């Protein structure tokens, strides 16, 4: 009999299932070496990234600035699509949708340029910033960069502790 595992993220609203996202579908054979036991490093990072993307997709439904009126002419603002913005978590990088707003006054035409940075003053999760700072305190810049990049396995976690006073910006 062929063994298979499936990892699914389920989204519930008021207890009702609204969406299922398959994160992983894997057929398994007999394990013949230690490297085949469990998920390898790359597979673990891919799982984290896929789970994060599923969570971020739901959270992004509410991501928008609180601004209600046009800063240029004072007219009311309306929602006008969305913009994709970079977000850097501890182990993975993501593009998150943020709602865009547009001025109702057609003669004005002002449109917001929303991003994770404009909403939260940074696009890096504090846990990543903390890890970068701790690494930089105990290693040279080059060593810290190497260690963080090795841990994340493919998603560069650039060490920016040398410019901690600035917002952390990868993109
Ligand atoms: Zn306006």
Instruction: For residue range 8-28, list pLDDT tens digits in order.
Output: 999 999 999 999 999 999 999
Report the pLDDT value the prediction gives residue 160, as an integer from 0 to 100: 53
CA-closest candidate to residue 124, choices 171, 84, 87: 87
Instruction: For residue range 46-86, list pLDDT tens digits in order.
Output: 999 999 999 999 999 989 988 999 999 999 999 999 999 99
Give me ligand 1 centre to Cα 67, in Å: 12
- CA terminus-to-terminus distance, the chain: 47
**Coil, strand or helix at 124:** strand
Give me ligand 1 centre to Cα 104, in Å: 7
What ranges make up the beta strands (E) of the chain?
Answer: 3-13, 16-28, 77-88, 93-103
Instruction: For residue range 118-169, list pLDDT tens digits in order.
Output: 999 999 999 999 998 898 899 998 888 888 888 888 677 765 544 443 444 4
């Amino acid at each position: 009999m062929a063994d298979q595992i499936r990892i699914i993220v389920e989204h519930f609203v008021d207890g009702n299932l609204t969406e299922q996202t398959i994160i992983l579908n894997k057929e398994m054979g007999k394990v013949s070496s230690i490297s085949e036991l469990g998920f390898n490093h790359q597979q673990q990072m891919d799982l984290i990234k896929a789970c994060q993307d599923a969570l971020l997709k739901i959270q992004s439904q509410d991501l928008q600035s609180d601004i209600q009126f046009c800063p240029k002419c004072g007219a009311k603002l309306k929602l006008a699509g969305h913009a994709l913005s970079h977000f850097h978590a501890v182990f993975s990088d993501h593009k998150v949708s943020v709602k865009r707003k547009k001025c109702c006054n057609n003669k004005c035409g002002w449109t917001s340029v929303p991003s994770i940075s404009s909403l939260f003053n940074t696009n890096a999760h504090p846990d990543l910033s903390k890890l970068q700072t701790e690494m930089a305190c105990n290693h040279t810049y080059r060593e810290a960069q190497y260690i963080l990049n090795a841990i994340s396995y493919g998603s560069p976690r650039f060490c920016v502790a040398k410019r901690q006073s600035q917002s952390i910006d990868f993109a």
